[in-house]
């Protein structure tokens, strides 16, 4: 493993499998009545969030605490960022407080990369603009592997031959880019299904197929990942109306019925119910939305553990039980 996790492209297949398998080990340990492990005792993790978040911020905090790290939560709202303090000065201030790892979410693509050049500790990208969100891709891969290949049984295996369709607002999605990179490294066959206006110009260079049709892709999919329509990042009209978008690219019960029986429905959250995903689909037995959130804690524990070099699990487990 490298010192930082900025992009899913930083991960070789072996690195990604190490994280997924470590998460499986941690999932076993955290199923026990005492969830806390002493592996990162004495280490400090700073959560540096310049953009809103529910799942990622809380799960990084829960992950660090379950590994017994000290956690400092920083939110740009109410901080000296409001007085004009720069990202560099904010980061150096937090580092002076002894951060071993900085988890950053920022509205600017490339912010995590810049930060990695300024601090001595590890940097984890928790979402930078429309660029990447590598731990979301890891938790999505972990969820697919568990649901499609069986929890535990899939250890050491990738996602070879698994067909994943990622649907909707790819243009504004850091989740889509990280997933395409990671899933292809793990051997999955990825197709993006989106209107042409919501695909990036350079999509031809991505390791995936592209389709403008959703209906024809569904029967061929083992997993379908619905993306949030990110209206807050839109500066133009990318489709005629929300109703028209839902009609062509939204997943409702009738469309879900086109999926093979074993296929799962994913969404990174937060969801726009009634836009990209109907409520009946989001709440159905095929939906892994809640499971993805739970797996997010386990994956982020694995990432922090591997980046910060915690003690071995068996030793840690013994220490907890004493």
Q: For binding to ligand CP (CB under 6 A), which residues are involved?
A: 53-56, 127, 136, 268-270
Residue in 298, 322, 308 with CA at minimum distance from that of residue 39: 308
Cβ-based nearer residue to ligand CP, 53 or 311: 53
Distance in Å, CB of 136 to ligand CP, minimum: 5
What string of H, E and C letters represents the secondary structure of 96-165?
Answer: HCCCCEEEEEECCCCHHHHHHCCCCCEEEEEEECCCECHHHHHHHHHHHHHHHHCCCCCCCCCCCCCEEE
Residue closer to ligand CP, measured from CB, 41 or 65: 65
What lies within 8 Å, CB to CB, of 2 at 6+ separation is: 10
Q: Which is nearer to ligand CP, 187 or 270 (CB)?
A: 270
Q: How far is the CB of 133 from ligand CP (least distance, A)?
A: 6
- Which residue's CB is nearer to ligand CP, number 68 or number 136? 136
> What is the rounded distance in angstroms from the CA atom of residue 27 to the CA atom of residue 145?
14
Using N-to-C axis directions, what is the helix angle for 289-308 and 134-149, rounded to 10°? Answer: 120
Least distance in Å: CB of 232 to ligand CP?
11
Closest approach, Cβ 167 to ligand CP, in A, equals 16
Is there a cis peptide before residue 270, judged by omega within 30 degrees of 0?
A: yes
Q: Are 49 and 75 in contact (CB under 8 A)?
A: yes
Q: Which is nearer to ligand CP, 146 or 228 (CB)?
A: 228
Q: Which is nearer to ligand CP, 7 or 39 (CB)?
A: 7
Measured CA to CA in angstroms, residue 220 lies from 83, 129, 196, 233 at distances of 52, 31, 21, 31
Please state the φ and ψ torsions of residue 40, each to the nearest 5 degrees.
-110, 30
Output the smallest distance, CB 127 to ligand CP, in A: 6
The length of the chain is: 322
Q: How far is the CB of 234 from ligand CP (least distance, A)?
A: 17
> Which residue number, 66 or 105, has a Cβ lying nearer to ligand CP?
105
Residue closer to ligand CP by CB (options 103, 193) is 103
Rounded (5°) CA angle 153-261-155: 10
Shortest distance in whole angstroms from residue 251 CB to ligand CP: 17
Burial class of residue 72 (count of CB atoms within 10 Å of its CB; 0-12, 13-18, 19+): middle
Rounded to whole angstroms, how far apart are CA atoms 132 and 266? 18
- Which run of H or of E encompasses 291? helix 289-308
Closer by beta carbon to ligand CP, 109 or else 211: 109
Rounded CA gap, 107 and 130, in Å?
8
CB of 79 to ligand CP, least distance (A): 19
Residue nearest to ligand CP (CB): 56
Kindly state the smallest distance separating residue 90's Cβ from ligand CP, in Å. 20
């Amino acid at each position: 493993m490298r010192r930082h996790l900025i992009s899913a492209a930083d991960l070789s297949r072996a690195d990604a499998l190490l994280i997924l398998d470590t998460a499986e080990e941690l999932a076993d340990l955290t199923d026990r009545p005492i969830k806390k492990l002493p592996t990162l005792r004495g280490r400090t993790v700073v959560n540096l969030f310049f953009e809103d978040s529910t799942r990622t911020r809380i799960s990084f905090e829960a992950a660090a605490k379950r590994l017994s790290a000290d956690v400092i939560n920083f939110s740009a709202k109410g901080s000296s960022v409001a007085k004009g303090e720069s990202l560099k000065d904010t980061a150096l201030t937090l580092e002076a407080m002894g951060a071993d790892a900085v988890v950053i979410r920022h509205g600017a693509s490339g912010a995590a990369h810049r930060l990695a050049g300024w601090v001595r500790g590890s940097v984890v990208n928790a979402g930078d603009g429309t660029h990447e969100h590598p731990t979301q891709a890891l938790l999505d891969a972990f969820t697919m592997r568990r649901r499609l290949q069986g929890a535990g049984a899939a250890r050491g295996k990738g996602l070879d031959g698994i067909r994943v369709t990622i649907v909707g607002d790819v243009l504004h999605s850091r989740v889509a880019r990280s997933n395409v990179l990671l899933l292809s490294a793990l051997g999955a066959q990825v197709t993006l299904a989106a209107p042409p206006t919501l695909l990036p110009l350079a999509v031809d260079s991505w390791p995936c197929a592209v389709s403008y049709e959703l209906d024809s892709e569904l029967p061929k999919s083992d997993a379908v990942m619905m993306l949030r329509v990110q209206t807050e990042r839109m500066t133009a009209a990318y489709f005629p109306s929300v109703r028209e978008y839902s009609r062509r690219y939204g997943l409702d019960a009738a469309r879900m019925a086109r999926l093979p029986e074993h296929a799962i429905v994913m969404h990174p959250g937060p969801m726009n119910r009634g836009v990209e995903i109907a409520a009946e689909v989001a709440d159905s037995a095929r939906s892994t939305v809640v499971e993805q959130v739970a797996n997010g804690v386990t994956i982020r524990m694995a990432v922090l553990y591997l980046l910060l070099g915690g003690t071995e699990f068996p030793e840690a487990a013994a220490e907890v039980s004493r």
